[in-house]
Copies of this chain bind each other. A is one copy, B any other.
Amino acid sequence: MIIDCHGHYTTEPKPLMDFRQKQVAAVKDGSLLPSPSSVKISDDDFRASVEGNQLRIQRERGTTLTLFSPRASGMGHHVGDFKVSEQWSQLSNDCIHRVCNLFPDNFIGVCQLPQSPGVPVETCIPELERCINGLGFVGCNLNPDPSGGNWTAPPLTDRYWYPLYEKLCELKVPAMVHVSLSCNPNFHTTGAHYINADTTAFMQFIQVDLFKDFPDLKLIVPHGGGAAPYHWGRYRGLAQNLNRPPLDEMMRNNVFFDTCVYHQPGIDLLAKLISVENILFASEMLGAVKGDDPTTGKPYDDTRRYVDALSLSGADKQKIFEGNARKVYPRLGPMLDRIAARK
């Protein structure tokens, strides 16, 4: 079984995008917000949106299922106020739920949180609970910068975030640390803002002992941990200079890197430096980088090939492909067993 823990719904049906356009326009000109209940999308529309895309690619690449969340760049937590973010998050999560219901063997939901700059993080908890307890989702995406590139929120180790962490631990779900669209012209969204956020979060975890307060909290740093593996000596040294524990000890039960690194030498480095227990298979397809790599003739984001090519034992690869995901997403196990029983 191969679980892709990082897939976004980047092929949304048009009515969903139309709603968002109207919502953003209403925020801009101060007019009445559109009603989410006005959005009508048929099951056929949902089927068509994934059949030639994510589903086809799952089949082609031989991956089993995707942990599926709303488009990351589309979360746009900086747009409008909490109510805007809440309506958009609810609607986005409902669409994920529809896809998961139509293809329960192929997609399992991960939710967008209705974050909003300057609002207490507790406001996200009702939607988190609705998605986990009500819709059967297994995780969430957590935006460390709801301002969209201005970085005005406190660091992830600040007590500001603690109510959310308490709820995540209670619900037994992890969070993937994932920013959204960058409104800052300095930061290209997928080429700089995403990777910078990963690097930033990882360094925050080195600085402060967050996991002493939350020994069961599990956070995924996507895109292979940002710059961290390439600069592993720097981070090991900084941890040492700050009198903090070794990185592998800090990460052990709490911090995980995914395999969204789009070339073999990068994945080789990841697997060489990071404990195999802390790596989760992921591709982010259809995501940041489209098209084929001319040096291989294969899609950049076909990360299964890179993991297959690692000189690791079959047991270790199984951890990356499946075992670690079962551990990091405790709610996944029973769902996978049901899928296996259906097959």
A residues with a Cβ closer than 8 A to B are: 144-145, 149-151, 153-155, 158, 184-188, 190-192, 195-196, 199-200, 203-204, 206-207, 223-224, 226-227, 229-238, 240-241, 261-263, 265-266, 269, 272-273, 288-291, 293-295, 300
Contacts of A293 in B (CB 8 A): 233, 236-237
Which residue of B has the minimal Cβ distance to A225? B230
Assembly CA distance A291 to B236 (angstroms): 11
Contacts of A206 in B (CB 8 A): 188, 191
Give the residue of B207, B232, B240, B261 whose beta carbon is less than 8 angstroms from that of A231: B261
Give the residue of B149, B200, B203, B289 whose beta carbon is less than 8 angstroms from that of A238: B289
Q: Could you write out 11 A-B pairs with CB less than 8 Å apart?
A: A150-B150, A186-B200, A186-B204, A195-B199, A226-B227, A230-B261, A231-B262, A237-B290, A237-B291, A238-B288, A265-B272
Take A207-B188, A262-B234, A263-B232 as given contacts and tell me if A240 and B151 are in contact as well, using a CB distance cutoff of 8 Å: no
The reply to whether B230 and A230 form a contact with Cβ atoms under 8 Å apart is yes
Give the residue of B153, B203, B240, B272 whose beta carbon is less than 8 angstroms from that of A192: B203
Contacts of A186 in B (CB 8 A): 144-145, 151, 153-155, 200, 204
The reply to whether A233 and B191 form a contact with Cβ atoms under 8 Å apart is no
The reply to whether A236 and B265 form a contact with Cβ atoms under 8 Å apart is no
From A144, A154, A234, residue with most partner B Cβ within 10 Å: A234
**Nearest 4 Cβ contacts at the A-B interface:** A233-B263, A233-B262, A227-B227, A237-B289
